[in-house]
Amino acid sequence: MAYKLLFVCLGNICRSPAAENIMNHLIVQAGLSERIICDSAGTSSYHIGSPPDRRMSAAAAMRGISMKGRARQFQVADFENYDLILAMDKDNYLDILALDPRQQYCDKVRLMCEFATRHQIREVPDPYYGGREGFEKVIDLLLDSCEGLLEYVKSSLPD
């Protein structure tokens, strides 16, 4: 049975699809495509069905990572369908937990930056209203966080 990861931001067009696609890139490199599955979602309904933001796609392409997918909104069923739900910032984290009033799944919800090893920042900033360098910084932060996350997940996989 595959380990399932869900990356969550506000609109699901910048940070969470970048995390999903970076993680998939690392999973392929590690030869773990059959064992780890990724998806992404947004806490809002603003961009449902939209492709990843072109600026984020350009920043990812500079690192050899292609951006795939379409935006969708986080659903309560996602709590049961995923092993780990990774929020990009504290607002996303709290929005996700608000959908779990009985706190059945709070142990599955973590902040993405908990897995960063080279960056001290604790939240992935939203680059949507900024310039190109903000998107590049987010890619660097997510690469760091995804590398740490992959090590964490590998240690959780059964032999």
Q: Is the pLDDT of residue 159 over 80?
A: no
Percent of all residues in the chain with a pLDDT value above 70, rounded to a whole number? 100
Q: Is 70 part of the annotated catalytic residue set?
A: no
Whether pTM > 0.85 for this model: the answer is: yes
Please report where in the chains the tokens 């360098």 appear, as a residue. Answer: 133
Point out the catalytic residue in the list 55, 126, 144, 146.
126
Q: Is 126 a catalytic residue?
A: yes
Identified catalytic residue from 15, 72, 89, 113: 15
The CA-CA-CA angle for residues 64, 66, 72, to 5°, reads 150
